[in-house]
Structure 1
Amino acid sequence: MQSPIINIAAYKFISIDDTAADKPRFLDQCNALALKGTILLTPEGINLFLAGTRTAIDVFVLWLRADARFADIEIKESASTEQPFNKILVKLKAEIITMKMPLIQPEKGRAPSVLPTTLKRWLDQGHDDAGKPVVMLDTRNAFEVDVGTFDQTIDYRIDKFSEFPAVVASHREALAGKTIVTFCTGGIRCEKAAIHMQEVGFDSVYQLDGGILKYFEEVGGAHYHGDCFVFDQRTALNAQLAPSLPVQCPACTAQVSPREQLSAEFVAGERCPHC
């Protein structure tokens, strides 16, 4: 029986003084362990998506956490039957996720976060612990939201994250007096969004700790409909953190893969790529 592939996702906002010096270290370690995926190194932190055998992943995580900068980095796991990446890439970027605003300054602290279990309780009861209405704010791109999101979430239909500051400013009055929970796939965008919103004067904003993937891991799919888009060959994960299954086209009965389901024609209900 074939051993499963272990997929990990992790990030940490932490000042990295010399990303160019770190790049070959990460690349050599991943090549030695036959890991595939992408690692982003930036002055404001690290973001990684890697896949490999159980042993290789465990060795890499031990190696990573031996570096004091990443000793407490949180790792999210899921399994797949096939390797979802074609190669290993270690990239140097200016930001972990581009917002085109001042960089995150980790030394100043994180944005307030809400645990998945607490968020589920808030959504169950319809308000936070202070009695304020809870608003879910999706910080992802529109095509990701179309795959799945929380019930009754606010979706600004952005095409890229750098649009977020302007669009949230234009809806400021609609969010007044509410507890806002920003969320994304794994936590990077919602953390950055929450910090930005704090800096511009929103007084009750949280990030969903660990994003949708951690929510799935800890509480399942409660108050969430659809799947979660991921940026690898699996395309999307369900609430059990398993790859989404193909669906049958009602017109031609062909099996339509999760990635093909994102085509504009299929979303509009007109035809699938096989018709």
Structure 2
Amino acid sequence: MPESSSSSILVAALYKFVELADFRDMRQPLLDLCEARGITGTLLLAREGINGTIAGEPDALRAVLTHLRTDPRLADLEHKESQAPAMPFYRMKVKLKREIVTMGVPDIDPENMAGTYVEPDEWNRLVDDPDTVVVDVRNDYEVGIGSFRGAVNPHTTSFSAFPQWVREQSGEGGVLARGAKVAMFCTGGIRCEKSTAYLRSQGFDQVFHLRGGILKYLETVPEADSRWDGQCFVFDERVSVGHGLAPGEYALCRACRMPLSAEDKLSEHFQEGISCPHCHDRHTPEQKRRFAERQRQVELARERHARHIGARMPSPHHTRDQASPESKSLPTGSEGESMTSAH
């Protein structure tokens, strides 16, 4: 992971559903620009749009965002900013995908069919309504460290499992039965764009989603007025953020990529870089030997005040996308939410 001369790195999570017929031609110029500016992270390009999370020195990052907005199709591209004490990504990637967030349902049109946006300062009123079914569209491991009070957890392990959950819960006795009024939220908004479009395609007509996602809510709604409990998982090395987008208290298991609380790290099953309470019985002795050697290299690099690029591992609960980040749910911030996004 690149070092920075600045004490604070700017992180931008962004996405937009828009027809990009030439998305393949956009890849190399965008990668070249980001690398020239010292930007790291992941951007996903597909015919349906762009998604990702990138980080860098503030002036360099804003120059990349300005460049993106020179494309008339991206002129109104929105992004969410947060700070990190060091680069949260190891390198820059621009990937070509079939979908910028993978649901696996053809002909969904988020650009024109997404549900009704609700601004963060109006969200409390909607979710406080007892007739509203509030649904957390994120994956189970994300919901596990924080969510809105009273929200339904679909217990999905990937975004592509969401349509099946909707079908199951739309029947008699399900939480979505009889044309429920539904309010959805996710990390940065991208999964809600697609999930609300999917619900509308299934005949739901009262479908709402939180504009800017959890990140915008935590950034703008005072903690005293908040309906949020816990931390928000993010798809980068910060692992989680709280109100005001302050860095959270969670760490990441390098063996399975699950977020770890302080209590998890006290477990007899926790060995830094090797195992945690979530995965201690899921890896073979050979895998654990490899993890131990990788951790040894990380510690040696730390002693040299260098960064060990191999510290980052692919995530088993993102067998894929993430991307993220997170392209299903990436590890970007592009709440690919990738561990790129956030969205």
Whether TM-score is above 0.5 comes out as yes
Measured against the shorter chain, the TM-score band is 0.7 to 0.9
Q: Which residue is equivalent to 2:324? A: none
**Contact kept? 1:12, 1:45, Cα under 8 Å:** yes
**Contact kept? 1:236, 1:244, Cα under 8 Å:** yes
The whole-number CA distance in structure 1 between the counterparts of 2:206 and 2:103 is: 21
Q: Which residue is equivalent to 2:169? A: 171
**Contact kept? 2:113, 2:200, Cα under 8 Å:** no
**Contact kept? 1:3, 1:53, Cα under 8 Å:** no
Q: Rate the CA distance shift 1:193–1:33 in 2: closer, same or farther, 3 A.
A: same
Deviations along 1:170-217, one digit per CA (max 9) or x if unpaired, are 111422354211111111111100000011011211121111011111
Q: Rate the CA distance shift 1:5–1:122 in 2: closer, same or farther, 3 A.
A: same
CA drift at 1:66: 1.0
The whole-number CA distance in structure 2 between the counterparts of 1:228 and 1:170 is: 27
The secondary structure found in structure 1 opposite 2:67 is helix
Q: Which residue is equivalent to 1:93? A: 97
Count of matched residue pairs: 258
Aligned AA (2:103): M
Aligned AA (2:251): P
Q: Which residue is equivalent to 1:81? A: 85
Which runs of no fewer than 5 residues in structure 2 stay unpaired? 277-343
Q: Which residue is equivalent to 1:122? A: 126
* CA RMSD between the two structures: 2.3
Q: Which residue is equivalent to 1:203? A: 205
Q: Which residue is equivalent to 2:138? A: 140
Which runs of no fewer than 5 residues in structure 1 stay unpaired? 246-256
Q: Which residue is equivalent to 1:251? A: none
Alignment of 1:48-59 (within 5 A): 48-59=52-63
Q: Which residue is equivalent to 1:259? A: 252
**Contact kept? 1:263, 1:273, Cα under 8 Å:** no
The secondary structure found in structure 2 opposite 1:193 is helix
Q: Which residue is equivalent to 2:188? A: 186
Aligned AA (1:174): V
Instruction: Report the TM-score, using the length of structure 2 for normalisation.
Output: 0.70
Deviations along 1:63-121, one digit per CA (max 9) or x if unpaired, are 11111011001110000111000000000000011111024435635322111111123
Deviations along 1:5-46, one digit per CA (max 9) or x if unpaired, are 000001000011022100011101101111000000011110
Range moving further from structure 2, 170-179 or 55-64 = 170-179
Q: Which residue is equivalent to 1:233? A: 237
CA drift at 1:53: 0.6
Alignment of 1:31-70 (within 5 A): 31-70=35-74
Aligned AA (1:96): I
The secondary structure found in structure 2 opposite 1:191 is helix
The whole-number CA distance in structure 1 between the counterparts of 2:15 and 2:111 is: 16
Q: Rate the CA distance shift 1:103–1:47 in 2: closer, same or farther, 3 A.
A: farther
**Contact kept? 1:15, 1:105, Cα under 8 Å:** no
Instruction: Report the TM-score, using the length of structure 1 for normalisation.
Output: 0.87
CA drift at 1:262: 2.9
The whole-number CA distance in structure 2 between the counterparts of 1:6 and 1:196 is: 33
Deviations along 1:233-262, one digit per CA (max 9) or x if unpaired, are 1111111212113xxxxxxxxxxx522473
Q: Which residue is equivalent to 1:273? A: 270
The whole-number CA distance in structure 2 between the counterparts of 1:153 and 1:22 is: 39
Aligned AA (1:134): T
The whole-number CA distance in structure 2 between the counterparts of 1:80 and 1:23 is: 26
The whole-number CA distance in structure 2 between the counterparts of 1:65 and 1:25 is: 14
Aligned AA (2:175): A
CA drift at 1:228: 0.7
Identical counterparts, % of pairs: 38
Aligned AA (2:28): P
The whole-number CA distance in structure 1 between the counterparts of 2:248 and 2:269 is: 17
The secondary structure found in structure 1 opposite 2:165 is helix
**Contact kept? 2:113, 2:197, Cα under 8 Å:** no
Q: Which residue is equivalent to 2:318? A: none
Are residues 1:212 and 2:205 paired?
Answer: no
The whole-number CA distance in structure 2 between the counterparts of 1:115 and 1:244 is: 24
